[in-house]
Amino acid sequence: MATAIDAMTGRIVVRNEGRAAFVRPDEINWVEAERNYARLYLDHGSHTIRETMKDIEARLGDQFVRIHRCHAVNVTRIRELRASRGGDYEVVLHDGTGLKVGACFRARLEQRLQRSGSNPSENQDGPQDLIAPEPATALVFGN
């Protein structure tokens, strides 16, 4: 299992069992770290590549944001953010996948979503907290 990037198209080349799959970053819903490997989750299946989360995060660029030590998500695939009674937060993707937001990654997520213009809580008075402090709240995004 090896990985490379196609310099012409920016696709990730995933080699496995004598085959090569070409994955565009915008096809990836989320990434999960597994030691020195990363699993890329797509709408139809997943691919494991030999790369650390830090390295794959750098290659995927601003379309992705790290939300946990072992998860990064494609911001265009976020459907909603949920706050629970315990103070934890969860990102829900367009396919219903729920991923916990680590406490130290919450501010980074808020900043990234505000930069992308995906902030549903913005009004004429300017930006507000993206993740509402009230328990059991959900912010729903279009899609």
- DSSP secondary structure letters along 39-84: EEEETTEEEEES--HHHHHHHHGGGEEEEETTEEEEGGGEEEEEE-
Higher pLDDT, 39 or 85: 39
pLDDT at 125 over 70: no
Encoded tokens for 28: 């990836």
Q: In the prediction, which pLDDT does 59 show?
A: 85
C-alpha to C-alpha distance for 138 and 101, rounded to whole angstroms = 14
Cβ density class 119-128: b for 16+ within 10 Å, e for less: beeeeeeeee
Hey, is 98 helix, strand or coil?
strand
Amino acid letter, residue 106? R
What is the separation, in whole angstroms, between the first and last Cα of the chain? 34
Average pLDDT of the residues in 15-32:
91
C-alpha to C-alpha distance for 40 and 134, rounded to whole angstroms = 32
